[in-house]
Amino acid sequence: MQEENNKNYIQTITFGCRLNAVESEKIANMLHQIVPTAILVNTCAVTGEAERQSAQYVRRVARENPNIPLFITGCAATHNVAPFATIPNVRVIPNTDKLNSDAYARAVDDFDFSSINDKPNISNPDTQMSKQFIQIQNGCNHDCTYCITRLLRGPAVSFEYSDILTDVREAVKNGYNEIVLTGVDSASYHKIYGGQPFLISDLCRKLLDDVPEIKRLRLSSMDPASPEIFKIIDLIHENPRMMPHLHLSMQSGSDTILKSMRRRHTSNMVHDIVAHANGISFSWDIICGFPGETDELFTETLNLVMETKPIKIHAFPFSPRPGTPAAEMPNQIDKNTSKQRAKVITDAATRNRKEFMNLHLGQTISVLVENNNTGRTPHDISVKILGNNIPNRTICNCEIIGIDGDNFVATA
């Protein structure tokens, strides 16, 4: 995420996934070379609400910045141009051209920058992060029935190792102590080098070998169906620089619903992953109220949460996305029921997290410092650090002395 650049006044706002945040940073760097001033809004369409919020924000920013060009990109802008097309000074860049500098240059060929005296003015612009997200792939080859992202981003493309290595080395040089590898479907990363497959576990292992300055390496998300997850777990057990927390794109804990979603894993596979992952914590995504999810099938998901104890869950109501099979399925679930189920799942994860956090009271834990003396543990739990101000991106040992809501309280 980007801070305002005082040379040519580029500001960004990012909705949605961490991959969008990575791409916003790349686009901002391109815009520095193209325009003297601009606002970039990187939109999201994973749910109808995300799409609505993106359009609402753009309308407000356009009113508050009537003389400044607005570049609108991302999945919402790609899925439906109409909400943005009539807004003054808006230039829509679809996902296919998202990282193409020429597309941005062409979009402002007719724009008169000579009369602009104002700096961009947006509320809550992206700020610089204490960890560096590195994109390793884009797109997805799977056909989950609810997902519009795969339609908007296209098929899976894995990036060359040499390019990823360059990005990682640059991040380390710039003072980032934690690297997070991200993509639409990171678990599908696949290249061929020397006639041999080079997969996500190989990528992580080679980065740790080639860049010994990396203090922390983390994956943003993993598909539970990927056999690579077991190799990643083994690497975490072998190398303390690999962070012991994995985010799983679960979506449900019911085999019936998973099949209807066309997911490729089962609840038993998740049990096997957790059994293999001694000392590793997990977070999940869960869609509540998928078409056909009866109370009994929802209970299967809740039971899996209680049995395997993920410490965080992003639970959200099912949102039918036009053009996806799930939007046309029978037995659609009432929105209020979906919201209630999301709360039940969230509350269960909160109990898991409290139990996990209580086990760490009194321990000394490595913390990556972020803003205002807050930080993150290797298990990705927030920490409030008491005492003198510690510079961002510092990794320091902290003694856990208490718990405040979802945060540890610690002294350095």
Which residue numbers in the chain have pLDDT < 50? Answer: 1-6
- Tell me the residue ranges of DSSP E strands in 213-346: 216-219, 245-251, 281-288, 312-317
Alpha-carbon distance 186 to 222, whole Å?
Answer: 6
The Cβ of residue 162 has, within 10 Å, a number of other Cβ atoms equal to 8
Instruction: Please report the pLDDT score of residue 7 as a whole number.
Output: 52
**Is residue 42 within 8 Å of 30, Cβ to Cβ?**
no
Smallest Cα–Cα separation from 408: which of 347, 364, 351? 364
Q: Which phi and psi angles does 189 have, rounded to 5°?
A: -50, 130
- Beta-carbon contacts of 378 under 8 Å, excluding residues fewer than 6 positions away, are 216, 243, 244, 245, 365, 366
**Is residue 189 within 8 Å of 136, Cβ to Cβ?**
yes
Instruction: Please report the pLDDT score of residue 39 as a whole number.
Output: 95
Burial of 93-102, coded b for 16+ CB within 10 Å and e otherwise, reads bbbebbbeee
Give the pair of three-digit tokens for residue 333. 């679930």
Instruction: Please report the pLDDT score of residue 136 as a whole number.
Output: 98
What are the structural domains, with CATH classification, of the chain?
A: 10-107 (3.40.50.12160), 132-358 (3.80.30.20), 364-411 (2.40.50)
Instruction: Please report the pLDDT score of residue 127 as a whole number.
Output: 75
Smallest Cα–Cα separation from 326: which of 236, 258, 397, 405? 258
